[in-house]
Amino acid sequence: MSDLRPRSRRAAAARVSGIARHGRLRKSSPWPALFKFLGAALVVVLVSAASVSGIVLNNISAKIQSNSIQLPSETEGPIPQIGAIKGGFNILVVGSDQCEQWDGCAGPGDRGSGKLNDVTMLLHVSEDQTNAVAVSFPRDLVVPIPSCPNEEGTGSSGAMSGQPINVTLSYGGLACTVLTVEALTDLDIQFAGLVTFKGVIAMTNAVGGVDVCLANDLDDDYAKIHMKAGTHTLAGKDALAFLRARHGVGDGSDLTRISSQQVYLSSLVRTLKAKETLTDVSKVLGIAQAAANNMQLSSSLASLDTMTSVALALKDIPLENVTFVQYPGTTGQGGIYSGKVMPLQGKADALFDYIKSDEPFKLANTTDGIGATIDPNAEEEETPSTSTATPADTADLPTLDIRGQTAADKTCSKPR
């Protein structure tokens, strides 16, 4: 993988020739960016500013580097020159709920002043860069947590056999979340980013809002959001409230909330393409500044050269080749899984075997019918593709029975 570390600690399965597609195919439409908080477009959007304004970019670059986080597995190496990174790579995006008030927290005694990862998403880009898979890990998923170095740089926490994955930030910050996901998936993570609720609000405002479809009325007193059925353009605190709502969506669990979040994420990717956001200099600068002021990147990513290289590798992947899935899990179990999410190990192993070998697969259903459903009013778009990817026949592809959808699938959140 060129200058990057291998993606797996185990020997990957034999590479599959041709185009690897992980979801139902539709007419191609290249996507320019993945959402950082939920989908990781933030990273791609931020990098695109590298061709805009020297003075502003110098300030942004200095801010990013001064706020970067060193991961335990990082080693010194040359910064990639401008140009697409060769081969595949993995990016972990973590959303922290350290401050649960959209307009800020009053102090350490305020609710939400703890430090938990409300969102944990791993983006895998294939070796041939023709497809990408974004895996969302439920915040209450009980997993083994390895020993993690303390953020203060002295000592480390002890390993734990089973804890919710969302406590990893409190045990060792972003580095601990990276170590946990690496151990869980057997994938090496080259890049990582951390964003807070305030950052999500700033980013959605900078993008200009995202159209979200609701199949039913949404009423969630916990998330403080009440919306009628139909399509709404969400930005700022409304977007954040939608992304966090779970009591009013599906069965009220974090599993159906992830399905609803993927509705937003897929729409955001299409919004960035349809509105040509990355060709609007003022908008790109606003997005870059919002990201620089509200997120922390791993040292491996905290360079505009590196981020530009990542963006160039991602920009031509067609929408239908970007698949959002959630780590397989179930609720309603006892013991350490009481009130939490138990991993479905067999399904998880199958998913990551395909991901690590870049072997094509398709989803049994693009939505689960609980947290999200196909938009009945969606229309096919005839957008020309600039991707070099060629159509692949999905008829004989293996099918995975897990929740998810592609970026090309137009879906609606399904409040209960």
Backbone angles phi, psi at 278, to 5 degrees: -75, -5
- Residue 106: pLDDT over 50: no
Say if residues 357 and 14 touch (Cβ distance below 8 Å). Answer: yes
Would the pLDDT of 19 be above 90? no
Domain ranges of the chain: 41-200+276-374+398-407
Say if residues 29 and 319 touch (Cβ distance below 8 Å).
yes
Residue 33 has pLDDT above 50, yes or no: no
Structure tokens at 67: 């706020």
- Please answer whether residues 381 and 28 qualify as being in contact, where contact means their C-beta atoms are separated by less than 8 angstroms: no
Which class for 344: exposed (0-12), middle (13-18), buried (19 or more C-beta within 10 A)? middle
Token couple for 305: 């050269």
**Structure confidence by residue, pLDDT tens digits, 372-382:** 888 888 765 54
CA pair distance 218, 413, nearest whole angstrom: 9
Looking at residue 347, its pLDDT comes to 95
Q: Beta strands 225-227 and 362-363: pairing type? A: unpaired
Average pLDDT, stretch 11-33? 35
Nearest to 33 by CA among 384, 303, 315, 317: 315
* Contact of 3 with 303, CB cutoff 8 Å: no
CA pair distance 376, 164, nearest whole angstrom: 36
Q: What whole-number distance in Å separates Cα of residue 268 and Cα of residue 210?
A: 6
Please report how the helices 197-207 and 254-274 are oriented relative to each other, as an axis angle in degrees rounded to 10: 30
Judge whether 3 and 237 are in contact, CB under 8 Å: no
Mean pLDDT, the chain, as a whole number?
74
Taking the C-alpha atoms of residue 179 and residue 406, their distance in angstroms, rounded to an integer, is 27
Mean pLDDT of 20-28: 38
pLDDT at 114: 56
Asked whether the beta carbons of 48 and 32 are under 8 A apart, the reply is yes
Top CATH class, 41-200+276-374+398-407:
alpha beta
Phi, psi for 329 (deg, rounded to 5) = -160, 170
From residue 149, alpha-carbon distances to 114, 157, 183 in Å are 19, 6, 15
Residue 12: per-residue pLDDT: 39
**Structural tokens at position 416:** 């209960």
Block residue for tokens 């919004």: 271
What is the structure's pLDDT at 327?
95
